[in-house]
Amino acid sequence: MPEPTVVTATGAVVAADYFQSYSVVGLLAVVGVLFVAVAFGAGRLLRPVVPTPEKLLTYECGVDPVGEGWAHTQVRYYVYAFLYVIFAVDSIFLFPWATVFAAPGYGAATLVEMFVFLGFLAVGLLYAYKKGVLTWT
């Protein structure tokens, strides 16, 4: 059981007790780094090293690489990925808003701000829909 923090008459916390709580975090970080280093070192020592021409070929999902390295990719895949990133960021902003919204004194202001934010996202989604970006043809 950790000892309670000592507070002086002026309200200051003793630094030794404060940093003692971080020593456990530092120790766990060092153990984690050592574990990864030992695993990589053991892998390097134990794996067989037999380079053959087949092993040195570029591997592309089980298909032998032929032709040019540059391939034509449809832009629509990037658009869907970009839309996903936008709405993932949107969901990241919604979680802190939900916690602040429950706090007293912030309800109406945060509600208006979030609706403005969601309105901008809705306008962007409507624009993408009107431009035909979301059609898969």
- The reported pLDDT for the residue numbered 1 is 47
**pLDDT (tens digit, 0 to 9) for every residue of the chain, 137 residues total?**
455 555 555 655 566 666 777 888 899 999 999 999 999 999 999 998 888 887 777 766 666 666 666 767 677 777 778 878 877 887 787 777 777 776 777 767 777 888 888 898 888 888 888 888 777 66
pLDDT at 42: 96
Q: Which pairs with CB-CB distance under 8 Å and at least 24 residues apart come from 124-133?
A: 124/86, 125/83, 128/79, 128/83, 133/76, 133/79
Tell me the C-alpha distance between 137 and 134, whole Å: 9
